[in-house]
Amino acid sequence: MGFSAIDYVVLLAYLAGITIFGVMFRKSQRTVKDYFLGDKNTSWVVISLSIVATETSTLTLIGVPALAYANYARPEQGGNFTYLQVVLGYIVARIIISLLFIPAYFRGNLLTAYELLKNRFGVSAKNFAASLFLIMRALAEGVRVFAASLVLTAVLGASIPGLPHLWLWSIVIVGVLTLIYTFEGGIAAVIWTDLIQLIIYIGGSLLAAYELLHLVPGGWQTIASEASAAGKLQFVSFKFDFSVPFTFWAGLLGGTFLTMASHGTDQLLVQRLLTCRDKRDSQKALILSGFVVLFQFALFLVIGVMLFAYYQHAPLQDPELAAGKCLVSKTVSCDVIFPRFIVQQLPHGVSGLVIAAIFAAAMSNLSGSLNSLSSSTVIDFYKPLLKPNATDEELLKLSRWLTAAWGFVLIGIAILARSWGSVFTTGLTIASLVYGPMLGAFLLGVLTKRANQLGVMCGMAISLTFMLMIKIQFSAAIAWTWYVLLGTSVCFSVGYLVSLMKSTTTTTAAAE
């Protein structure tokens, strides 16, 4: 059908509306604490949905359907519902974080996650972890912004063929509009726009699923039959193979450690937990978000399976995309399959709404990243290292301009990310390499009394080196779902051992 004038009106109305809505929160930002934590009067349900929207990027919205659509050599690699095993770990991790990390965060008046490490180990450990966060979050978010550009490229390419540098214009549009309302409205704008964006992208996804159900001859019965014949209805695999990402063990163990790191140590999501009124609200918000995430991942995987069934009856002209064969040639990504369906097959108006939904996911994640990058830069580095006596007015002004600076950095990274491969696996792999050292440091802080600064610094450094070696030398033998568990184990073991050796050396020296 193509993208029509009505679709453009819907999309532009969304982009303009969400930007104006976010800017309206500027008047509530009087101090740097307001800018980064809000007034702490927001309902825990709203914050819970904001957590979901923040962790649901365009990588998820286009990457997960592509994961279910594609054909893989082994079912544990994808092409079915086995990704839900990882989501099981997401829920388990949230319970652990609620019991282990959230009480520690609320015992102090913290503005960033990494102040916990400062209180326990000292400034150097905090700076190391915060630096890892800044690098990882910038790289991972750049990939997510590029993922959003795939969507706009599909839209504009279908309706304005021959327009040069579509992907570049897409990156700039998403980046600049999100930057405007995050710059102005701070965390309050981020949380409330997250809520609107979640409603839009879930609603848009349900609309797409509804249309697919009616476009496939025979409806759900045909979809289930086609999916079953292709092995796409498999949920569980009990194989123990480190080289494949979606087994029960990788999902339960790997998914648990991945989420303990992302939701327990990453400022992007910890910042949401700190905006709650108290510890109890924070715990409820986090646990509820896990079950909402389970629902939405199931929805996105169903859409991928429905797309597979649909294209059995309406074959694609591109042979490499047909029947999920895009993963065989590696010259075209399955990530384009959902955006292409939206633009080419959905009715006018509906197409614009679903594309707006995908932009909603992109802007939600990007706005949270901008605010968390700015908060860590100001609170963890600028104030303690450069200007301890800075006034609240100075810090608030700087926070806004650092938000802008990080926005342009992320746009630059997104441009570079064009040549990095599949957006879904690239984004998760970048995060997983760094999450292990960070989670190991936090676990040393909350689970042990004998760990010290030297130990945790050595643990993080060796763990990061180890994970880079794994990625470079053994990426084919070890799936990304195991990365955080391995990195955490190395950091915790080395950190505790070095701490014990330092303690023994100190005791011996004192005795002599």
Residue 200 to residue 213: CA distance in whole angstroms: 20
pLDDT of residue 102: 93
Residues in the chain: 512
Identify the three-state secondary structure at position 55: helix
Residue 181's contacts (CB-CB under 8 Å, 6 or more residues apart) are: 18, 19, 20, 21, 22, 23, 25, 189, 193, 367
Nearest to 484 by CA among 143, 251, 285: 251
pLDDT confidence band for 329 (50 / 70 / 90)? very low
At 122, phi and psi to the nearest 5? Answer: 115, 175
- Residue 19's identity, in one-letter code, is T
Nearest to 141 by CA among 290, 268, 38: 268
Residue 254 to residue 108: CA distance in whole angstroms: 30
At 40, phi and psi to the nearest 5? Answer: 60, 30
Is residue 451 within 8 A of residue 444, CB to CB? The reply is yes
Candidate ranges 4-8, 72-76, 109-113, 122-126; pick with highest mean pLDDT: 122-126
Identify the three-state secondary structure at position 388: coil
Instruction: Write down the pTM of the prediction.
Output: 0.84
pLDDT of residue 318: 67
Q: Which residue has the higher pLDDT, 347 or 454?
A: 454
Nearest to 270 by CA among 55, 61, 120: 55
- Tell me the per-residue pLDDT of 432-450, one tens digit each, with 9 for 90 and over: 788 999 999 999 999 999 9
Nearest to 81 by CA among 252, 224, 235, 225: 235
With 90 as the cut, is the pLDDT of residue 268 above it?
Answer: no
Residue 9 to residue 21: CA distance in whole angstroms: 18
pLDDT of residue 259: 93
- Tokens 């009124």 locate to 277
- Tell me the per-residue pLDDT of 374-385, one tens digit each, with 9 for 90 and over: 988 998 999 888
Q: Which long-range contacts (CB under 8 A, 24 or more apart) does 10-18 make?
A: 10/349, 10/352, 10/353, 10/356, 11/155, 11/352, 11/355, 11/356, 11/359, 14/200, 14/356, 14/359, 14/360, 15/173, 15/177, 15/356, 15/359, 18/177, 18/181, 18/193, 18/196, 18/197, 18/360, 18/363
Is residue 265 within 8 A of residue 435, CB to CB? The reply is yes
Helix axes 166-215, 279-313, angle to 10 degrees: 70
Q: Which residue has the higher pLDDT, 506 or 38?
A: 38
pLDDT of residue 331: 45
All domains of the chain in start order, with CATH? 5-376+392-416 (1.20.1730.10)
